[in-house]
Amino acid sequence: MIRANPQETLPIASFEVRHRKIGTPTWLFAPGAAAAGAVVLPGYQRGDELELQGRAVSTLGTPGDWSASLTHVVAATDPDAPSPPQNLSATSPSAGTIRVQVTSGPSPQTAATQIYIASGASALFASATKQGDPIASGLNTPLPVFEITDLSPGPYRIWATALDSLENPIESVPVGPFDITVA
């Protein structure tokens, strides 16, 4: 589990994962927004044995301590998630309404896009809820405007994920958050 430095009084803004093939001396680094809750580690093949460590980073950029090392073997059963959607934006054209625009992800396996919302200026993706059914799409498709209505006034955060076409869809890491305030 990644936690903030115990002496830190500021909220966590992001986290960082360092990773490498077991037996290699050089660490690679992958950042992730705290709100996303996930980091993609590109460049590995099935069967690669990895060593991973993570740490939290405060809003002022102060890093916490690295976690204990974890190991993972990239398995044939590890899913190939689609790339996340792109160009996420939102507007609030009237009281209680958010209009979301997004372009589906660039991966060939992209079949749909799911919109998520959470209430609060610092809400994390883990607290977000799905909005409606996934929007069917192919890859790199500007999707129709998605409207969320009957919202209370206040700040909201919007995310979107790509889904593949499997019976139990594999979801990409989220794109976002897009912060918006509803009047």
Distance between CA 143 and CA 65 in Å, rounded? 41
Residues of the chain with pLDDT under 50: none
Write down the pLDDT at residue 90: 97
Regarding whether 101 and 162 lie in a shared domain, the answer is yes
Regarding whether 16 and 102 lie in a shared domain, the answer is no
User: Containing domain of residue 97, as a range?
Assistant: 86-182
- Pick the closest to residue 177 from 120, 138, 110 (CA basis): 120
Regarding whether 70 and 155 lie in a shared domain, the answer is no
Write down the pLDDT at residue 177: 93
Regarding whether 120 and 37 lie in a shared domain, the answer is no
Regarding whether 151 and 96 lie in a shared domain, the answer is yes
Regarding whether 30 and 58 lie in a shared domain, the answer is yes
Write down the pLDDT at residue 75: 64
Residue in the block written with tokens 């360092």: 18
AA identity, residue 83: S
Contacts of 104 (CB under 8 A, 6+ apart): 85, 86, 110, 112, 113, 137, 138, 139, 140, 141, 143, 162
Among 25, 46, 74, identify where a domain stops: 74
Laid out side by side, the sheet with 12-21 consists of 28-33, 12-21, 49-58, 70-73
pLDDT, one tens digit per residue, over 129-155 is 999 999 998 889 999 999 999 999 999
31 near 39, Cβ under 8 Å? yes
Among 74, 95, 125, identify where a domain stops: 74
Among 26, 53, 74, identify where a domain stops: 74
